[in-house]
Amino acid sequence: MTVDPGSFEETDGNLVSVDPLGFPEYPEKLAKAREATGLTEAIVTGRATIEEVPLIIGAADFGFMGGSMGSVYGEKVARAFERAAEEKKAVVLFSASGGARMQEGLLALMQMAKTAAAVRKARDAGVPFISVLTSPTTGGVFASYASLGDVVLAEPGAIVGFAGRRVGQQELGGQLPPNFQTSEFQYEHGFVDRIVNRKDMRRILGFLLRFFAEGRRNGG
Amino acid sequence: MAANVLDFERPIRDLEALIDELRTPEKRAEAEAQGLDLDSEIARLEAELRSVIERIFARLTPWEQTLLSRHPNRPYTLDYVHRIFDDFLELSGDRLSGNDEAVVGGPAFLDGRPVMVIGHQKGRELRERQQRNFGSAHAEGYRKALRLAKMAERFRRPLISFVDTSAAAADLAAEERGVSEAIATNMAVFSGLRIPIVVIVIGEGGSGGAIGLAVGDRVLMLEHAVYSVIPPEGCAAILWRDKNRAPEAAAALRMTARDALELGVVEEVLPEPLGGAHRDPAGMAATIKEAILRHLSELDKVSAEKLVRTRYRRFRSMGRWMELTPAETAEAEQPQAAPL
């Protein structure tokens, strides 16, 4: 458990995906994902505390259509940042996503802009954002809000990259470093602050949340 | 030139070849010798050509639209920039690691008014295409655009962005220098720029590569441009493990200009000259210029605060979903849902 026991309270759990394009088999895939995961969407967001510091938290589930970001996912992320700005809380988002949800076409692509804009607005309001990359975090999620944390943490060995490892390999005929598109690769190149094991996550997040919260209390 | 004709353009090409042939001095001499009225024959063929083009373009499939958006003769960013602006000075480099020729940009004058221009740039001949990485930008391309956009904000110049890329670069160099972070940062920063931003999707609006230059107050799209979350080939490969089903995917993705307008992703579709922008680049440039001037004159009346607020809302409101009642939610959420 990353958050304080019993502290999690879900928000926006009533948002569910529709099939805006009439995309082949999308409603069936949604139904299957709901059944398999017990979730209504690929990301769950809400309020919680970690070491008693209140925060806005969200976690994506790769099991729900590859954790893909469609309208609901993007809307929940945007609302999380807006709520954080309103309530003066930090945001912690755990990503696990193959990218934008193809079945929602352009509307899914627009969630990249929507979530990135929401990060910017929360940033302007003085809200800290800690982005946690779990395996895999790729495509449109890595290329939007997930790369924009004030602090970016990643789990060891997680697949983290823009295009997905298979695509890269095909294009380069296998001439790639063995850690290509992993947390460690992103760390080496300066896009991840720390590689953090799941068991240490609570402690590290607690430290950062206290750092940000103290600063705000004294600085107004 | 033959390689630059799309399959569905062949009837057009054949008729044009015939007309060109009738215009040669040899044919003219031949016709005169036989007492034939060549001019009326040419006029008849030209009318037929027009109706053939109209007929073909009236029922283009989404896949044909996709091919048109990638047409090798299609005008690229600089082809328009040189026609639309009185003057343009290209600037280079992201001040961090390099200069990406897949993105161009710099100050320009639009009917005497200083503006900043950025855009993806594809190459025309093989060497230039390679040099510009086929219009697929690396991190330094997005960061060059960011640098110019911030410069524009400092001097309160409107930003005009031309979008034309199949996708951002996805190779080792792209990952090493953080193309994802660069695209993400552009969207975040552009969403807060205190200057008017007009975006025009002129060819391929290819997913993350496109949106990295496409956050603006007005997003316009040429009639035969496309805008998509994934190329139809990639979509078909994932969905059906068969790239040959790309035409089906192109339809399913709703990626034409008309679709983008219906989905509320663009404000306006700019009509192309008959037969596509490549048949009349100057005419297309004039249409784009008129649209830029018109949208800028509207945006000029808006305060910087309101511009930023409205731009935020523009993207904030995108997407479609349903909100369940508490009772419906309880039913939809299974008891095992405890992700944290």
Instruction: Report if residue B235 sits inside a domain.
Output: yes
Q: List CB contacts (< 8 A) between A205 and chain B.
A: none
Domain co-membership, B19 together with B143? no
Q: Say whether B318 and A107 touch across the interface (CB within 8 A).
A: yes
Instruction: Report if residue B321 sits inside a domain.
Output: no
Cα separation of A59 and A53, whole Å?
18
Residue in B closest to A47 by C-alpha = B340
- Confidence tier at B49 by pLDDT (50, 70, 90): very high
Instruction: Report if residue B254 sits inside a domain.
Output: yes
Q: B102-158: per-residue pLDDT in tens?
A: 999 999 999 999 999 999 999 999 999 999 999 999 999 999 999 999 999 999 999
Domain co-membership, B169 together with B301? yes
CATH code at B309?
Answer: 3.90.226.10
Would you state the structure tokens that stand for residue B319, as one six-digit string?
């997407």
Q: Beta strand pairing status for A90-97 and A151-154?
A: unpaired
Secondary structure (3-state) at B197: strand
Cα separation of B255 and B34, whole Å?
53
Question: Which residue among B212, B254, B321 sits closest to A21, beta carbon to beta carbon?
Answer: B254
Q: Say whether B265 and A44 touch across the interface (CB within 8 A).
A: no
User: Residue A60: how many CB atoms within 10 A of its CB?
Assistant: 29
Q: Percentage of chain B surpassing pLDDT 90?
A: 90
Average pLDDT over residues A11-30: 97
DSSP B22-84: HTSHHHHHHHHHHT--HHHHHHHHHHHHHHHHHHHHHT--HHHHHHHHT-TTS--HHHHHHHH
Domain co-membership, B137 together with B98? yes
Average pLDDT over residues B70-93: 98
- pLDDT value of position A28: 97
Residue in A closest to B316 by C-alpha = A114
Q: Is some CB atom of chain B closer than 8 A to the CB atom of A23?
A: yes
- pLDDT value of position B328: 83
Domain co-membership, B35 together with B119? no
On average, the pLDDT of chain B sits at 95
- pLDDT value of position A173: 58
pLDDT reading at B1 higher than 50 = no
Cα separation of B336 and A193, whole Å?
33
User: Residue B283: how many CB atoms within 10 A of its CB?
Assistant: 15
Give the domain range for residue B195.
67-316
Count chain A–chain B contacts defined by CB atoms under 8 A.
225
Average pLDDT over residues A109-127: 97
Query: A9-219 adopts what CATH topology?
Result: 2-enoyl-CoA Hydratase; Chain A, domain 1 (3.90.226)
Q: Is some CB atom of chain B closer than 8 A to the CB atom of A167?
A: yes
Instruction: Report if residue B112 sits inside a domain.
Output: yes
Q: Say whether B319 and A111 touch across the interface (CB within 8 A).
A: yes
What's the complex ipTM? 0.95
Q: Domain total for chain B?
A: 2
- pLDDT value of position A220: 40
Average pLDDT over residues B93-103: 97
Least reliable range by pLDDT among A153-162, B22-31, B57-66, B184-193: B22-31
Domain co-membership, B21 together with B105? no
CB neighbours of B226 closer than 8 A, spacing ≥ 6? B62, B65, B66, B69, B204, B205, B250, B255, B256, B257
- pLDDT value of position A59: 98
- pLDDT value of position B35: 86
pLDDT reading at B69 higher than 50 = yes
Domain co-membership, B34 together with B105? no
Domain co-membership, B37 together with B159? no
Q: Say whether A71 and B260 touch across the interface (CB within 8 A).
A: no
Q: List CB contacts (< 8 A) between A72 and chain B.
A: 319, 321
Question: Which residue among A110, A139, A145 sits closest to B319, beta carbon to beta carbon?
Answer: A110
- pLDDT value of position A175: 75
Q: B205-263: per-residue pLDDT in tens?
A: 999 999 999 999 999 999 999 999 999 999 999 999 999 999 999 999 999 999 999 99
Instruction: Report if residue B335 sits inside a domain.
Output: no
pLDDT reading at A215 higher than 70 = no
Secondary structure (3-state) at B205: strand
Average pLDDT over residues B74-87: 98
Instruction: Report if residue B225 sits inside a domain.
Output: yes
Instruction: Report if residue B252 sits inside a domain.
Output: yes
Q: Are B251 and B298 in contact (CB under 8 A)?
A: no
- Confidence tier at A218 by pLDDT (50, 70, 90): very low
Domain co-membership, B119 together with B178? yes
Q: B312-331: per-residue pLDDT in tens?
A: 999 999 999 999 988 888 77
State the nearest Cα–Cα gap between B176 and chain A, in angstroms.
6
- Confidence tier at A170 by pLDDT (50, 70, 90): low
Domain co-membership, B43 together with B157? no
Give CA angle at B155 (B153, B158), nearest 5°. Answer: 55
- Confidence tier at A167 by pLDDT (50, 70, 90): low
Domain co-membership, B277 together with B202? yes
Q: List CB contacts (< 8 A) between B263 and chain A.
A: 20, 105-107
pLDDT reading at A134 higher than 90 = yes
